[in-house]
């Protein structure tokens, strides 16, 4: 399997100028590829092929108007063309229903004002990690890298990314083997929520860290300071960076917490079951800010990816499964309940904590679905 290993890099001012030039050249090539296809569509002509666009790029570099494209690595420009081609393939696959997930729109032009810029080098570019532990990039130089861990194998490509906060990262793609953990006999169901981030079927409660809510006052003041600055001024650029850094700090803390908790859950359980929540729909309600702050999507994606890597089972229970309405003791469906009801009593006499009962039901439904998928006849306990 392929994994990404990301490290912070610290280019010198001169290298930052060269990276900015590479970002701009890659953006121009991407936009011209999109423009060529759009012109063909409007004229009723067939889309130019990847090979035709590549030949057009080579010819453009020989003209005086585009001679400055030769200042950056040719691999960077070819990879930008490949990104445009991939964007169109994803768009057409989404239209035909071959691509799973949400509908993908047509590719859009990239702007120089985008807060995130990136370029990619493949092995053809002959990038390398030097003996001095620096990253050598063609036509850029040797860039200092903060190595937080060793690369497990030789990278097949590296992307240099500049984020909204002005930080630079090197993202390596490496081929690794699965690392199955010793098998366990423990399985767990997880009910995600807002009051508490998650309640597990074994009674474990994960308190909601609420990173955005805790930093909301600081973020509000930074945004107010930005809104008072004159557009186009240097002070506004500095204020925008302060806002971006504040948001980056929140996002990094949320991602780090999700990594630690998902790793712990995967290591301690052979099978993990969660409810398939419609995060996009919930993000349109009055709870939108809390839903985004919770980060359910990134947490479940990490659980799924790590389950594959470490030989665990992960699955999602149908979002229409009445986990909060079903009595985990007698199996009776007690009907919908408002979110204010945190505890309820079934007619059988069982007193349920709303979240814990839902987690137990998710575990039972996940087990039933898993065994049924293996060819066994299993039904939920009545």
Residues marked active site are found at: 191, 275, 355
Are 304 and 265 a contacting pair, CB within 8 Å? no
Pairing of strands 187-192, 271-275: parallel
Are 109 and 34 a contacting pair, CB within 8 Å? yes
Q: At how many degrees (to 10) do helices 13-42 and 50-60 cross?
A: 130
CB proximity list for 56: less than 8 A, separation 6 or greater: 36, 48
For the purposes of burial, counting CB atoms within 10 Å of the CB of 113, is it exposed (0-12), middle (13-18) or buried (19 or more)?
exposed
State the virtual CA torsion across 164, 166, 167, 170 in degrees, nearest 10. Answer: 80
Q: What gap in Å lies between CA 285 and CA 330, rounded to an integer?
A: 33
CA distances from 64 to 25, 27, 68, 192, 244 (A): 15, 19, 8, 59, 38
Q: What gap in Å lies between CA 118 and CA 171, rounded to an integer?
A: 10
List the alpha helices (DSSP H) in the chain. 13-42, 50-60, 74-96, 211-227, 234-268, 279-282, 288-294, 296-310, 354-373
Q: What gap in Å lies between CA 28 and CA 117, rounded to an integer?
A: 12
CB proximity list for 52: less than 8 A, separation 6 or greater: none
Are 107 and 88 a contacting pair, CB within 8 Å? yes
């Amino acid at each position: 399997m392929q994994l990404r290993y990301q490290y912070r890099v610290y280019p010198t001012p001169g290298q930052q100028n060269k990276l900015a030039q590479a970002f701009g050249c890659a953006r121009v090539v991407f936009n011209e590829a999109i423009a060529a296809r759009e012109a063909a569509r409007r004229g009723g002509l067939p889309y130019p092929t990847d090979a035709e666009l590549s030949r057009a790029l080579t010819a453009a570099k020989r003209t005086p108007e585009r001679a400055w494209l030769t200042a950056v690595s040719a691999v960077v420009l070819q990879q930008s063309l490949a990104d445009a081609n991939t964007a169109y393939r994803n768009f057409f696959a989404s239209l035909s229903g071959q691509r799973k997930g949400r509908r993908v729109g047509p590719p859009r032009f990239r702007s120089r004002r985008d807060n995130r810029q990136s370029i990619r080098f493949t092995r053809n570019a002959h990038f390398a990690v030097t003996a001095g532990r620096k990253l050598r990039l063609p036509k850029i130089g040797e860039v200092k890298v903060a190595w937080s861990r060793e690369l497990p194998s030789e990278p097949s490509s590296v992307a240099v990314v500049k984020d909204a906060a002005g930080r630079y990262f090197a993202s390596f793609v490496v081929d690794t083997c699965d690392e199955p953990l010793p098998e366990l006999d423990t399985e767990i169901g997880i009910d995600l929520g807002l009051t508490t981030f998650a309640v597990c079927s074994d009674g474990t409660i994960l308190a909601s860290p609420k990173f955005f809510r805790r930093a909301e006052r600081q973020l509000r003041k930074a945004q107010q300071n930005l809104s008072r600055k004159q557009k186009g001024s240097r002070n506004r650029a500095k204020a925008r960076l302060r806002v971006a850094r504040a948001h980056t700090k929140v996002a990094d803390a949320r991602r780090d917490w999700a990594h630690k908790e998902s790793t712990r859950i995967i290591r301690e359980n052979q099978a993990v079951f969660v409810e398939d929540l419609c995060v996009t729909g919930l993000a349109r309600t009055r709870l939108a800010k809390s839903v985004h702050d919770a980060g359910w999507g990134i947490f479940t994606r990490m659980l799924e990816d790590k389950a594959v890597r470490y030989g665990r089972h992960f699955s999602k229970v149908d979002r229409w499964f009445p986990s909060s309405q079903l009595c985990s003791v007698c199996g009776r469906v007690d009907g919908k309940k408002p979110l204010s009801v945190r505890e309820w009593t079934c007619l059988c006499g069982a007193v349920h904590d709303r979240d814990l009962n839902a987690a137990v039901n998710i575990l039972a439904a996940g087990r039933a679905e898993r065994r049924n998928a293996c060819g066994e006849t299993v039904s939920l306990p009545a």
